Amino acid sequence: MILDLFKLDGKVALVTGAGRGLGQAMAIALAEAGADVAGLGVNSLDETAAQVKALGRRFLPLKFDLLEAHAEDMTKVVEQVVTGLGGLDILVNNAGTIRRAPVLEFSEKDWDDVMQINLKATFLLSQAAGRVMVTHGKGKIINIASMLSFQGGIRVASYAAAKSGMAGITRLMANELAVKGLNINAIAPGYMATDNTAALRVDPERAPAILERIPAGRWGEPADLMGAVVFLASAASDYMNGAIVPVDGGWLTR
Share of the chain above pLDDT 90, in %: 93
Is 231 inside a domain boundary?
A: yes
Catalytic residue among 64, 123, 159, 251: 159
* pLDDT of 115 above 90: yes
How many Cβ atoms are within 10 Å of 235's Cβ, its own excluded? 15
Q: Which domain holds residue 113?
A: 2-244
pLDDT of residue 198: 85
Is 22 inside a domain boundary?
A: yes
Is 250 inside a domain boundary?
A: no
- Output the average pLDDT for the chain: 97
Is 253 inside a domain boundary?
A: no
Is 67 inside a domain boundary?
A: yes
**With contact defined as beta carbons under 8 Å apart, do 113 and 36 qualify?**
no
DSSP bridge pairs for 62: 40
Is 251 inside a domain boundary?
A: no
pLDDT in tens, 7-61: 999 999 999 999 999 999 999 999 999 999 999 999 999 999 999 999 999 999 9
pLDDT of residue 196: 78
Indicate if 159 belongs to the active site. yes
Here the CATH number for the domain that contains residue 168 is 3.40.50.720
Is 68 inside a domain boundary?
A: yes
DSSP state of 141: E
Least confident of 171-175, 208-212, 235-239: 208-212
User: Phi-psi category of 252—alpha, beta or left, where left has phi over 0 and alpha has psi -120 to 50?
Assistant: alpha
Is 191 inside a domain boundary?
A: yes
pLDDT in tens, 125-172: 999 999 999 999 999 999 999 999 999 999 999 999 999 999 999 999
**With contact defined as beta carbons under 8 Å apart, do 7 and 31 qualify?**
no
**Domain count for the chain:** 1
pLDDT of residue 164: 98
Read off the amino acid at residue 164. S
pLDDT of residue 75: 98
Reported as type and span, the H/E element at residue 226 is: helix 226-233
